[in-house]
Amino acid sequence: MSLRLEVEQHIANQPRFASHELTRFNILGFDLGWLEPVTVDFLTAHNAAFALQTDRIVLQAQSGNEAARILTEAALAMKAAGLIKGWRNELYTVLAPQADGLPDFSHPLFQLERGAFRRYGLLSLAVHINGWGTDHRMWIGQRAASKAVDPGRLDNIAAGGMAAGEDARTCAIRELWEEAGVPADIAGRVVAAGEIRTTRNEVDGTHDEILYCYDLEVPAGFTPHNTDGEVAGFVALSVDELVAHLPRLTWDASLVAADFLLRKGWV
């Protein structure tokens, strides 16, 4: 089997999103999330503000601040009950959707704890960077064993969620320093390479995320090194090695790496 076919098959085998057992979550007049049966039961028993109306749960809130307050309080209760495992003390922005389902950056609704997004099935935004060399090797990191999500799995040279008020390029440069020790003069050379939306069912809710992809040519002689404790180490993989290792990457990182290989014609 050719390397290109292996990459295409890996993309085709990505987990798919199924909504038949989920309930739509409406907030401030917008269908924003998806709730699993266990979450519906918890929320409706926890607070009457979570109202079951025909085929969806509607949050009874009149403003973004009120929605954020109710959702945060319920998320803390779900954390105490074991339904939310990783609490990040980091805020993401919930954006109103456009007609095509993509986020409307001109219409922020409210901010919410990052760790609650999957449980509520809300759309999040993240940046992933492909770190590559002219020798056709790609730098791959291994996530620390302490990570709340996908511990020990392989990842791109750097990746991370876009915090509230942060744009994609700023996030990419920040993550390159924090995760891979790439200084700003090198990180500033990142090149935007498109977007990928990935949606799938996970054990802790619905993962719905737009991945903003960036490419960075890593100078010869530079070796990535972690600065924030979130990455256990790095390895530079040849094309053959990277294709063989795709199943060991996180789903999102493997999509971004596979997209790079196809875009660049490396396979």
Instruction: Specify the residue for token string 């789903």.
Output: 251
The domain that holds 188 is classified in CATH as 3.90.79.10
- Supply 210's token pair: 């737009």
Are 153 and 74 in a shared domain? no
pLDDT digits (tens, 9 = 90+) for 55-71: 999 999 999 999 999 99
The domain that holds 106 is classified in CATH as 3.30.750.160
CA nearest neighbour of 253 among 245, 262, 264, 263? 245
pLDDT of residue 192: 98
Distance CA(93)–CA(19), nearest Å, equals: 24
- Supply 226's token pair: 């972690």
Are 44 and 98 in a shared domain? yes
Per-residue pLDDT of the chain (267 residues; tens, 9 = 90+): 799 999 999 999 999 999 999 999 999 999 999 999 999 999 999 999 999 998 999 999 999 999 999 999 999 999 999 999 889 899 999 999 999 888 999 999 999 999 999 999 999 999 999 999 989 999 999 998 888 788 999 999 999 999 999 999 999 999 999 999 999 999 999 999 999 999 999 999 999 999 999 999 999 999 999 998 889 899 999 999 999 999 999 999 999 999 999 999 999
Instruction: Specify the residue for token string 């607070």.
Output: 47
Other Cβ atoms within 10 Å of 228 Cβ, number: 13
CA nearest neighbour of 136 among 215, 239, 259? 239
Are 111 and 160 in a shared domain? no
- The pairs formed by 88-91 with CB atoms below 8 angstroms and a separation of 24 or more are 88/113, 88/114, 88/115, 88/148, 89/113, 90/114, 90/161, 90/163, 91/163, 91/164
Q: Is there a contact between 209 and 126 (Cβ–Cβ < 8 Å)?
A: yes
Does pTM top 0.85 for this prediction? yes
Instruction: Specify the residue for token string 């993509």.
Output: 102
Distance CA(111)–CA(26), nearest Å, equals: 16
Phi then psi dihedrals of residue 12, to 5 deg: -65, -25
Are 7 and 133 in a shared domain? yes
pLDDT of residue 150: 85
- Supply 191's token pair: 């090149």
In the three-class reduction of DSSP (H, G, I as helix; E, B as strand; rest coil), residue 119 is classed as: helix
Are 151 and 167 in a shared domain? yes
Are 134 and 257 in a shared domain? yes
pLDDT of residue 22: 98
Are 244 and 131 in a shared domain? yes
Are 130 and 117 in a shared domain? no
Distance CA(73)–CA(54), nearest Å, equals: 25
Q: Is the dihedral of CA 44, 49, 53, 58 positive or negative?
A: negative
Are 228 and 109 in a shared domain? no
Distance CA(171)–CA(245), nearest Å, equals: 26
Other Cβ atoms within 10 Å of 200 Cβ, number: 15
- Supply 235's token pair: 């390895």
Show which of 101, 121, 141 is a domain's final residue. Answer: 121
Are 130 and 91 in a shared domain? no
* Cα-based torsion angle of the residue sequence 62, 65, 67, 68 in order, rounded to the nearest 10 degrees: 180
Are 11 and 142 in a shared domain? yes
Show which of 62, 94, 121 is a domain's final residue. Answer: 121
Number of separate domains in the chain: 2
Are 141 and 9 in a shared domain? yes
**Rg (alpha carbons) of the chain, rounded to whole number:** 19
pLDDT of residue 131: 98
Residues of the domain holding 113: 23-121
pLDDT of residue 86: 84
pLDDT of residue 68: 98
Give burial (CB, 10 Å; 0-12/13-18/19+) of 128. Answer: buried
Show which of 106, 121, 136 is a domain's final residue. Answer: 121
